[in-house]
Chains A and B, each alone.
Chain A
Amino acid sequence: GENVEQHPSTLSVQEGDSAVIKCTYSDSASNYFPWYKQELGKRPQLIIDIRSNVGEKKDQRIAVTLNKTAKHFSLHITETQPEDSAVYFCAASSTGGGNKLTFGTGTQLKVEL
Chain B
Amino acid sequence: GAGVSQTPSNKVTEKGKYVELRCDPISGHTALYWYRQSLGQGPEFLIYFQGTGAADDSGLPNDRFFAVRPEGSVSTLKIQRTERGDSAVYLCASSLTAFTRDGSPLHFGNGTRLTVT
Which residue numbers of A lie inside 8 Å of B, CB to CB? Answer: 6, 31-32, 34, 36, 42-46, 49, 51-53, 89, 91, 93, 95, 97-106
Contacts and interface: CB of A to CB of B under 8 A. Distances in A.
Contact of B103 (A95, A102, A103, A104): A95
A101 B106 contact: yes
Given A46-B105, A102-B45, A95 B56 contact: no
Contact of A103 (B40, B43, B55, B95): B43
Contacts of A32: 102-103
Interface string B73-117: 000000000000000000100010011111111111111000000
B111 A98 contact: no
A89 B43 contact: yes
Given A43-B91, A45-B108, 20 more contacts: A31-B102, A31-B103, A32-B102, A32-B103, A36-B108, A43-B110, A44-B108, A46-B105, A51-B103, A89-B42, A91-B42, A98-B48, A98-B98, A99-B106, A100-B48, A100-B56, A100-B98, A101-B33, A105-B41, A105-B42
Contacts, number: 73
A98 B55 contact: yes
Contacts of A95: 99-103
B53 to A, nearest CB: 11
30 contacts: A31-B102, A32-B102, A32-B103, A34-B106, A42-B110, A43-B4, A43-B91, A43-B110, A44-B91, A44-B108, A45-B108, A46-B107, A49-B105, A51-B103, A53-B102, A89-B42, A93-B103, A95-B102, A98-B55, A98-B98, A98-B99, A99-B31, A99-B98, A99-B100, A100-B56, A101-B33, A101-B106, A103-B43, A104-B42, A105-B41
